[in-house]
Amino acid sequence: MIGHKELWSAKLPDKLKNSLFSQLSLPTNLTAQAFLIAHLPPSNLAGGVVWCLPSHRDLSQAKKLADFWFSVFADILPNKPLIYTFPQDFTAWLTLDKKERLILLLVAQEHLNLALSSADEIKQNTIELKVNEVIKPSQVLNKLLAAGFEPGPLPDRPGWYQKHGGTLIISTADDSWRLIWNGDTLEKIEELVLESGLAKQVLSVVKILPHNLAPKSTSSLANFISPDHTLIGLPENFLPGHQRQLTIRPTATNKLFNPVPLFAKQWLEFSRWLQTKNTEEKVILLSAAPYRLLKNLPADIPLPAMVEITAGAAECLTGFTDKASQTHYLTDHELYGSSRKFYRRSLASYAKLRTGDYLVHIDHGIGRFGGLTEKIQDGNPREYFLIEYAASDKLFVPIEHTDRLSHYLGSPHPPLERLSSAHWFGVQKKVKAETAILARELLNLYAKRHVAQIKPWQSFPEEELIASTFAYPLTPDQLKTWAEIGADLSGHQPMDRLICGDVGFGKTELAIRASARAVFNGCQVAVLAPTTILAQQHFDTFSARLSSYGIKIGLVSRAQTTSSIKQTLAALTSGKIDLIIGTHRLLTDDVKFNHLGLLIIDEEQRFGVKQKEKLRALKPSVHVLALSATPIPRTLNLAVSSLRDLSIILSPPVGRQAVKMIFSSRHEDIIKQAISHELDRYGQIFYLVPRVKDLPAAASVLKNIFPKLKIGIVHGQKSPQQVAATMRAFDNGELELLLATSIIENGLDLPNVQTNRRV
């Protein structure tokens, strides 16, 4: 990854400064045009720039491109210009006379000859109002109509206004205001956030420029362009004598930019093209997801420099070559054939919301859902979400704006934001900064892993002996997955594979075989499990299968004493332990490996991004094997995008029957029947109760039905030692029913348990 400053073309400003503009040809590529405008010498920018687009349909894209390049070069340029589009910003052309700010005016060719109102007409129809001014509301309405405003059912569109008694709301392209009268006296002026109806600030005076006027003169934009203005993309015959202009001339030979090829996922062609570049040429990729490229290029091809950009920018950028600096700028459009579309997540179904649920508004933060409410707007009813905030603040969000809301996901009972506080903006700023840092770290890590070269691992005869101790034959999908793992381990690049399969389909067996190969090749193995119970079970399983072959195995979790963990970690650092199994405790700073070669992450969806990548970061060349029955969207997306290898185990073990799921109301007869069935076949039962406080009552009910039933109880409030002892007794068959909370939910291997009762 490179910084934004490296996107700057050092030679282009000098070329523009030392050349007569009439000798240069402008590219048709809008991205290159915006790039050029950002590189204009200060003398050109200071006079104001008019950028003409082929069609009004290009105005929105051009504004995004200008915003993008001027933001990218914010540390290089003295300041960012104000960007206007005409005729959407009706009075934008007046800004060309402003000298105190840099101005970039965007206009489409079909609007060049549009008749404009004179400055005097604009001035005559500008409405200026002051607090405590005596003026009737009806007088202001007449002025608004004369200035091109219209009455609307809702003031949520530029150029509309709405009156309610002594209150008038006015909306323009840039601002909205609420004017409040007391009789004929204008008592208050507020600048509004339209969506919430809340005041940004209280004003003493407001100046409202006209929204639309019928011009009385025949003046056009040409009448307001001075020799100081720089013209980009205007037709040659529009102002033929103007010195500061760049026009599009297809036959010109003195071109500033060249096009780049379209590869559209043809990675071999892209690789060959990269190899043709000499040492003086640079290739830079501007992408919303540059890490996607890492899996698509051969290992011996030098990667281009990469810059991660926002999804919004990626949708409108196209590539070009800057001849001055011999730099080729490529985008997702060239590499993938078209830009990916990104959609804002909306609230999936407000029908499922309950009063008191926590919601997050993108602009105002965490609030509590207060229900749907109805308000009358101009005689018509309209539904709103009522969101309650701290200090009894309330926000009314129109139901058509639910894309601004999302469900709160986090610790229970979060503090509510205050609408008048800037705290939420600080939170957003901090999270964005931290996310950007994490993204850069991850990209650097994956880039290092992509170019890392490692020694292939060999297979050993002992592996066959270990395989022979497995009680079941491997299923077809297990055989296929093991072949894929073997190929990964015998390659020159680190493995990064996700194994996806249902509980009991044999993922752990493949992890055991991969661990054995790692140890026989002189490397250590780390197995990361989300819970103490699962870590203990893995320790028992791995020990039973591998200890007799000289493989030393250690365990670290909350269930171990401090002294025991200290001894285990010391042995791990010295290399005396070959395989370490643990919970999040493995992620602490005091865990040091002697020669880590394989990382196995079980129930990967239970770990956060930072947690999973921490062990990867210890050594970019480490092999990674992730196991999951329910991969999270990010993990699955990495797999299906070919950024991680994916193996799916669908074929069930021999004799495995389909899971039968029955939903019924809670009834003692059903409980008795299900448990009796398991006891008759000498099976065992999980009895799941969501809340710890309900466990004693459930145990009492079960004892009344089955007085002799051997019951064990586990939950997160018990000590790790108590939980481990109960689980071991259950695993050994000393208990017939395990009464538990969701602490048991992660991948437990207890084949004798075939009934899982949840209440």
Alpha-carbon distance of 223 to 528, in angstroms, equals 72
Token pair in block for residue 717 = 């409030």
Do residues 120 and 217 make contact, with C-beta atoms less than 8 angstroms apart? no
Alpha-carbon distance of 63 to 104, in angstroms, equals 10
Residue 93: predicted pLDDT: 58
Which residues 6+ apart lie within 8 Å of 106 measured at CB? 51, 53, 59, 62, 63, 66, 83, 84, 85, 86
Q: Which residues pair with 757 in a beta bridge?
A: 687
Q: Which residues pair with 755 in a beta bridge?
A: 685
Arithmetic mean of pLDDT, 460-488:
90
4-117+216-257 matches 126-208 in fold: no
Tens-place pLDDT, residues 581-628: 998 888 888 899 999 999 998 887 667 666 656 656 656 788 999 888
Residue 158: predicted pLDDT: 73
- Pick from 537, 555, 478: nearest CA to 513: 478
- Of the ranges 88-97, 527-536, 702-711, which one carries the lowest mean pLDDT score? 88-97
At 129, phi and psi to the nearest 5?
-125, 145
Name the fold adopted by 668-758.
Rossmann fold (3.40.50)
- Pick from 519, 502, 534, 487: nearest CA to 645: 487
Quick one: what percent of the chain has pLDDT higher than 90? 21
Residue 739: predicted pLDDT: 92
Residue 131: predicted pLDDT: 94
Instruction: Grade residue 195 by pLDDT with cuts at 50, 70 and 90.
Output: low
Q: Is the pLDDT of residue 348 over 50?
A: no
Domain 350-420 in this protein, CATH class: mainly beta
Alpha-carbon distance of 682 to 336, in angstroms, equals 58
What are the residue boundaries of the structural domains of the chain, listed by start?
4-117+216-257, 126-208, 259-336, 350-420, 481-649, 668-758
- Of the ranges 2-6, 29-33, 374-378, which one carries the lowest mean pLDDT score? 374-378
Residue 512: predicted pLDDT: 96
46-59 burial, b if ≥16 CB within 10 A, otherwise e? bbbbbbbbeebebb
CA distances from 568 to 548, 577, 591, 594, 596 (A): 19, 8, 10, 13, 15
- Pick from 164, 253, 196, 232: nearest CA to 16: 232
Alpha-carbon distance of 525 to 519, in angstroms, equals 7
Quick one: what percent of the chain has pLDDT higher than 70? 79
Name the fold adopted by 126-208.
Penicillin-binding protein 1b fold (3.30.2060)
Residue 344: predicted pLDDT: 39
Residue 643: predicted pLDDT: 53
- Of the ranges 125-139, 284-298, 518-532, 583-597, which one carries the lowest mean pLDDT score? 284-298
Residue 485: predicted pLDDT: 94
- Of the ranges 82-91, 111-120, 218-227, 703-712, which one carries the lowest mean pLDDT score? 82-91
Arithmetic mean of pLDDT, 461-479:
88
DSSP-derived secondary structure letter, 300: T
Residue range 4-117+216-257 in CATH 3.40.50? yes
Alpha-carbon distance of 409 to 558, in angstroms, equals 27
Residue 486: predicted pLDDT: 93
Tens-place pLDDT, residues 727-758: 888 888 889 999 998 777 654 556 556 555 55
- Of the ranges 10-19, 201-210, 231-240, which one carries the lowest mean pLDDT score? 10-19
Dihedral sign for Cα 114, 120, 125, 128, please: positive
- Of the ranges 96-100, 101-105, 309-313, 429-433, which one carries the lowest mean pLDDT score? 96-100
Tens-place pLDDT, residues 374-405: 777 656 666 788 999 998 899 988 776 776 78
Do residues 225 and 50 make contact, with C-beta atoms less than 8 angstroms apart? yes
Residue 549: predicted pLDDT: 92
Q: Is the pLDDT of residue 185 over 80?
A: yes
Token pair in block for residue 189 = 């002026």
Alpha-carbon distance of 304 to 270, in angstroms, equals 11
Q: Is the pLDDT of residue 547 over 90?
A: yes
Q: Which residues pair with 25 in a beta bridge?
A: 247, 255
Do residues 312 and 341 make contact, with C-beta atoms less than 8 angstroms apart? no
Residue 340: predicted pLDDT: 45
Do residues 206 and 104 make contact, with C-beta atoms less than 8 angstroms apart? no
Helix (H) / strand (E) containing 287? strand 282-287
Residue 134: predicted pLDDT: 94
Arithmetic mean of pLDDT, 137-156:
81
Highest averaged pLDDT of the listed ranges 149-153, 305-309, 312-316, 670-674: 670-674
Which residues 6+ apart lie within 8 Å of 468 measured at CB? none
Q: Is the pLDDT of residue 441 over 80?
A: no
- Pick from 213, 217, 241, 242: nearest CA to 230: 242
Alpha-carbon distance of 550 to 555, in angstroms, equals 16
Arithmetic mean of pLDDT, 183-194:
86
Instruction: Grade residue 659 by pLDDT with cuts at 50, 70 and 90.
Output: low
Q: Is the pLDDT of residue 341 over 60?
A: no
Instruction: Grade residue 180 by pLDDT with cuts at 50, 70 and 90.
Output: very high
Instruction: Grade residue 641 by pLDDT with cuts at 50, 70 and 90.
Output: very low
Q: Report the mean per-residue pLDDT for the chain.
A: 80
Give domain 481-649's CATH superfamily.
Answer: P-loop containing nucleotide triphosphate hydrolases (3.40.50.300)
Instruction: Grade residue 153 by pLDDT with cuts at 50, 70 and 90.
Output: low
Do residues 51 and 92 make contact, with C-beta atoms less than 8 angstroms apart? no
